[in-house]
Amino acid sequence: MSIKRKTDGKETPGVTKKPKIDFFAPKTAVAKTGPSFNFSCKDTNATRLVAWNVNGIHSILKDEQKRKILIKYLDAEDPDILILTETKFAQGKPDLQYLKTKFKYQYWGTDLRAGQAGTAILSKIKPLAIVETGLPTWTPSASETKGRYVELEFERLFVVGTYVPNSGENFKSMDIKQKWNVTFKKHLRDLDSRKPVIWGGDFNCILQQNDLDSKALPYWDRMSGLSKTEREEFNNILNPTDDESRKFADIWRHLHPDAAEYTHSSEKFGSWRLDSFILSERIVGKASCCLIRHELEDLKLSDHWPVMLDFAELL
For the annotated binding site for Mg(2+), the residues are: 53, 86, 202, 204, 303-304
> 180, 270, 256: which is closest to 223 by C-alpha?
270
Is 98 one of the catalytic residues? no
Which of these is catalytic: 163, 192, 211, 264?
163
Residue ranges at the known binding site: 53, 86, 202, 204, 303-304
Which of these is catalytic: 202, 211, 250, 310?
202
Which of these is catalytic: 80, 211, 304, 310?
304
Is 73 one of the catalytic residues? no
Amino acid at 137: T
Q: Are 206 and 261 in contact (CB under 8 A)?
A: no
> What are the catalytic residues?
163, 202, 304
